[in-house]
Amino acid sequence: MSESFPGDRSIKKISPVGPEFKAEQKRRAKEMKNRVYGSQILVHHRGTILAEKMPAELREMIKGNYEKYLNREAAKLDTGFKHFLSSQNSRIRSAAVGFIHRGLWGALGPENVRPALQVVSVVDRIKSGKSLAPPIWVRIVQGNELVISQLQKTVQKEFPAVRTAFRESLPEFLADYHISEPVVRTVTKRLTGTQVRVVDGLSARVEAIGGFYSPGTHTIFVAAHYVNENTKQQLTEIEEHELFHAISGRLVYEEATTERSELDDIQSTFTSHDDGRIGLHFMPPYFLDNNTQRFRWLNEAVTERLRIEYAKKRNSPLTYNTYLNEQKILEFLCKKGKREIPFEIFVRAYLEDYKPAVRKADSIIREWRHLRSTLNESFTPQFLVSLDNRIKQIGVEKVLMELEGRASER
């Protein structure tokens, strides 16, 4: 085998509608098409599940180590779920109960399980600090994955109708914000190929809405406990929120590394892509060694307000509203400066793609720069960056209280 040595490395910004990134996005989506997302929260416990599926002879060979490993992983699950079930966050508690419920249902089958009684028994045992036997944890995790795969089929059957309705309504909706026709065509086209996947709620809890969007694979993930007859409208609202993320503007980084083999003197170049911005959320990719993310709260506020306005325009029911504090800060930015700032200025920046400049004089991200300069004039220079830093320091809720207090003093 030839030995490779590091070579030249270059990083550049590219258009998200260019052929390079679209090809990689398509490849990633294809790779994950048949993957079951039942246990992301337990990703470091996957060895437990895989070991349980080993051939008997191989498992016997490593029996001693396997049993120690299984016991150790089961203890981690005992501790982890005790924390989830005792959480002050009701969504986390519900997600943990749902995980156990689906696990028992999938492991034992609907004809053999009495969910209410057995789930309560298992939950009480974990909350009291008692352990579950390792084989029971294995069956619960595997059972949960089985049910998740069944729910996945339901969502895949129903999602195309939601996506089609969204795509058909989008041009008229965006016209209210004076979005140019070329941008409308670009974002509408972006909906093609959007996928949906079901995950356990302990994974989806990372987003308050009950789902999240993965730009790298153009996939919407939704929490499993919203996939039932009683929460169809909530599921639709989650999907619509994430569809706005899917159409939002973006910036993509491309890393190219050139390596030369010392033995055969053959030079090879490897490329990879990662998002640097989606909507108003700036997130430097992993290969830049820079974890300074910016304006996630603003991105979610604009996304959720768009979803609400979209529902109102279509006379659709609104079952719940999330990112309330973030939306209130957005409203503060629009109404409490030296002059009012129309929401459409935020929307145009939100939908703007990065485009490599043809000439130095060309504005690469014109709408974003316009939003920043408008906020600087309405408040103070670098106000948005200072606000973002403060939110990182003390959180959205406390910053909102500070802003409201400042406004009342005027």
Over residues 58-70, the pLDDT tens digits come to 556 655 676 777 7
pLDDT exceeds cutoff 60 at 78: yes
pLDDT exceeds cutoff 60 at 321: yes
Would you place residue 57 in the very low, low, confident or very high pLDDT band (cuts 50, 70, 90)? low
Taking residues 221-249, report their average pLDDT: 90
Q: Are 341 and 333 a contacting pair, CB within 8 Å?
A: yes
Residue count of the chain: 410
Output the pLDDT for position 386. 94
Nearest to 226 by CA among 191, 197, 246: 197
Is residue 274 helix, strand or coil?
A: strand
Would you place residue 328 in the very low, low, confident or very high pLDDT band (cuts 50, 70, 90)? very high
Is residue 333 helix, strand or coil?
A: helix
Would you place residue 265 in the very low, low, confident or very high pLDDT band (cuts 50, 70, 90)? low
The phi and psi torsions of 380 (rounded to 5 degrees) equal -140, 160
Nearest to 209 by CA among 80, 371, 99, 322: 322
Output the pLDDT for position 375. 96
- Scan for tokens 């258009």, then name that residue: 15
Q: Report the range of poorest mean pLDDT among 199-208, 277-286, 287-296, 371-380.
A: 199-208
Tokens representing 28?
């990633």
Tokens representing 21?
């990134």
Beta strands 4-5; 9-14: pairing state: unpaired
Residue 133 identity: A
Q: Which residue has better confidence, 26 or 38?
A: 26
Share of the chain above pLDDT 90, in %: 36
Output the pLDDT for position 269. 53
| Range 9-47 burial, b when 16+ CB lie within 10 A, else e | eeeeebbbeeeebbebbeebbeeeeeeebbbebbeebee
Output the pLDDT for position 41. 43
Output the pLDDT for position 285. 66
pLDDT exceeds cutoff 90 at 405: no
Nearest to 280 by CA among 254, 312, 244: 244
Q: Which residue has better confidence, 100 or 310?
A: 310
Task: Give the bridge partners for 209, in sequence order.
Answer: none
Would you place residue 313 in the very low, low, confident or very high pLDDT band (cuts 50, 70, 90)? very high
Would you place residue 274 in the very low, low, confident or very high pLDDT band (cuts 50, 70, 90)? low
Output the pLDDT for position 390. 95
DSSP string, 205-260: TTSTTSEEEETTTTEEEEEGGG-SGGGHHHHHHHHHHHHHHHHS-EEEEEEEEEEE
Q: Are 247 and 351 a contacting pair, CB within 8 Å?
A: yes
Task: Give the bridge partners for 9, in sequence order.
Answer: 257
Q: What is the DSSP letter of 293?
A: -
Sign of CA dihedral 273, 205, 219, 104: positive
pLDDT exceeds cutoff 80 at 332: yes
Tokens representing 141?
């995790």
Nearest to 343 by CA among 176, 208, 113: 176
d(CA 243, CA 163): 8
Taking residues 270-278, report their average pLDDT: 69
Output the pLDDT for position 238. 92
Output the pLDDT for position 231. 82
Q: pTM of the full predicted structure? A: 0.81
Mean pLDDT of the chain: 80
Ramachandran area for residue 5 (φ above 0: left; ψ -120 to 50: alpha; else beta):
beta
Output the pLDDT for position 338. 92
Reported as a single tens digit per residue, the pLDDT across 103-154 is: 888 877 655 555 555 778 888 899 998 988 888 888 888 888 888 888 999 9
The rounded Cα 287 to chain-centroid distance in angstroms is 20
Q: Are 353 and 249 a contacting pair, CB within 8 Å?
A: yes
pLDDT exceeds cutoff 60 at 46: no
Output the pLDDT for position 331. 97
d(CA 396, CA 241): 20
The rounded Cα 293 to chain-centroid distance in angstroms is 15
Beta strands 195-199; 219-223: pairing state: parallel
Taking residues 67-91, report their average pLDDT: 83
Output the pLDDT for position 241. 95
Taking residues 341-360, report their average pLDDT: 85
- H/E segment holding residue 284: none
- H/E segment holding residue 338: none
Output the pLDDT for position 301. 97
Residue 63 identity: K
Output the pLDDT for position 48. 44
- Scan for tokens 């070579």, then name that residue: 7
Is residue 290 helix, strand or coil?
A: coil
